Amino acid sequence: MVAMSHFYTKPATHNGYFLGTRNLLVKIMGERRDVPLPQRGWDPIVILVKSQHPGNLGAVCRAMMNYGFTKLRLIEPQCDITCDEARNRAKHAGSILDEAGIFSTWEEAVADCNLVIGTSGKREHGPKTVFRHFLNPWDVAELGPENGGKIAIVFGEEGMGLSTPELTKCDLLMTLPTWEGYPIANLSHAVNTTLYEIHRHHILVQGSSLGVADHLQLDRTISPEIRKLLRQAIREFGYSLTGDDKRKETYSTLLTRVIMRGMPLDIEAHRLLGAFVEATTAMQKQAGDADWQKKRRKRLNVTDESSINIPFQIYEEE
């Protein structure tokens, strides 16, 4: 079933003629209810203490849904969580609002949690640092799979943050590595940044799974065969340039280092192969090399960019 926008749009017309139904059914951008949630093995419970602004609350829900998190608990919310502002800011993550747990005390909210992580932008200096040793979001992302169970990440109320007594109740503390000149982030931004790091860690460590975008390239290594071919193509290109052998070798090495530092994927390297073959052939022809056609035929066959599984002739590097 096609998801419908809650906004009404008129059919598109031009000079009185109906152009079609493209505006009658508006598929919500990014909403794919048929996609399962990511299978991480652990999911943090986001806890908000005394939320003041329904807009922020809705934005938190949206950030959670963006990365496939759904567990939200509220301690003494100070705003109407069912109001239109909260719902509108949540967009299509309203289900998180509907299912959020409401608690009157801190103790009730974390009673079933194995680990409680408090957040704060107030990074103390001097002797107080012994009581406020902060983790970064990526540290939390790494310890989650090791700990398992129910891990709560607690965010304080807007403008105040968690109080010292509340921070004392936490097992660990986390902060965002913000600029010291303005370290306090907006509540929804802080939640978004934290959950992004956790989701990113899941992708990098566990790889593709249910709910993770299938277009994400997880393997950043180039295959040995493609690497060898690319280095050869770069070297042939470099030696087609003008100048002495030392200059040509310098350019070949420089190009190789710059390209490999970018960690190209196999398909990217394959397309670079085609470009280097074309450029090398053109320069040899321009230079009046009588054997340019013969050399091209002997060179790598990289004209089909739609596949990287092409029979290449591999020449040994000198």
Give me the sign of the Cα torsion angle 282, 288, 293, 295: negative
- Higher pLDDT: 315 or 223? It is 223
- For residue 217, being part of any structural domain is answered with no
Per-residue confidence (pLDDT) for residue 281, from 0 to 100: 85
Lowest mean pLDDT among 56-70, 107-121, 267-281, 293-307: 293-307
Average pLDDT value over all residues in the chain? 77
Query: CA angle 266-269-274, nearest 5°?
Result: 130
- For residue 112, being part of any structural domain is answered with yes
DSSP 3-state of 99: helix
Within this chain, do residues 77 and 143 fall inside the same structural domain, yes or no? yes
CB of 46 within 8 A of CB of 64?
yes
pLDDT over 90 (residue 41): no
Give the CATH number for residue 84: 3.40.1280.10
Confidence of residue 61 (pLDDT cuts 50, 70, 90): very high
Within this chain, do residues 97 and 58 fall inside the same structural domain, yes or no? yes
Helix (H) or strand (E) holding 154: strand 151-155
Range of the domain at 200: 45-206
Tens of pLDDT along 73-115?
A: 999 999 999 899 999 999 989 999 999 999 999 999 998 888 8
Confidence of residue 5 (pLDDT cuts 50, 70, 90): very low
φ/ψ of residue 246, rounded to 5: -65, -45
Structure tokens at 131: 């009581």
Domain count, the chain: 2
Within this chain, do residues 119 and 260 fall inside the same structural domain, yes or no? no
Within this chain, do residues 180 and 244 fall inside the same structural domain, yes or no? no
- For residue 268, being part of any structural domain is answered with yes
Structure tokens at 72: 């939200």
- For residue 3, being part of any structural domain is answered with no
Which residues pair with residue 134 across a beta bridge?
173
CA distance 53 to 77: 9
Per-residue confidence (pLDDT) for residue 196, from 0 to 100: 95
Within this chain, do residues 189 and 251 fall inside the same structural domain, yes or no? no
CB of 197 within 8 A of CB of 240?
no
Q: pTM of whole model > 0.85? A: no
CA distance 179 to 35: 37
Within this chain, do residues 160 and 294 fall inside the same structural domain, yes or no? no
Within this chain, do residues 78 and 177 fall inside the same structural domain, yes or no? yes
Within this chain, do residues 60 and 144 fall inside the same structural domain, yes or no? yes
CA distance 47 to 110: 9
- For residue 118, being part of any structural domain is answered with yes
Residue 157 carries which DSSP code? B
Lowest mean pLDDT among 148-152, 226-230, 296-300: 296-300
**CA 125 to the chain's CA centroid:** 32
- For residue 201, being part of any structural domain is answered with yes
Between the CA of residue 212 and those of 103, 165, 200, what are the distances in Å? Answer: 32, 38, 10
* Boundary residue ending a domain (144, 171, 206): 206
Within this chain, do residues 60 and 192 fall inside the same structural domain, yes or no? yes
Within this chain, do residues 143 and 103 fall inside the same structural domain, yes or no? yes
- For residue 12, being part of any structural domain is answered with no
- Nearest CA-CA partner of 93 in 117, 57, 120: 57
- Nearest CA-CA partner of 109 in 155, 160, 47: 47
CA distance 256 to 86: 53
Within this chain, do residues 244 and 285 fall inside the same structural domain, yes or no? yes
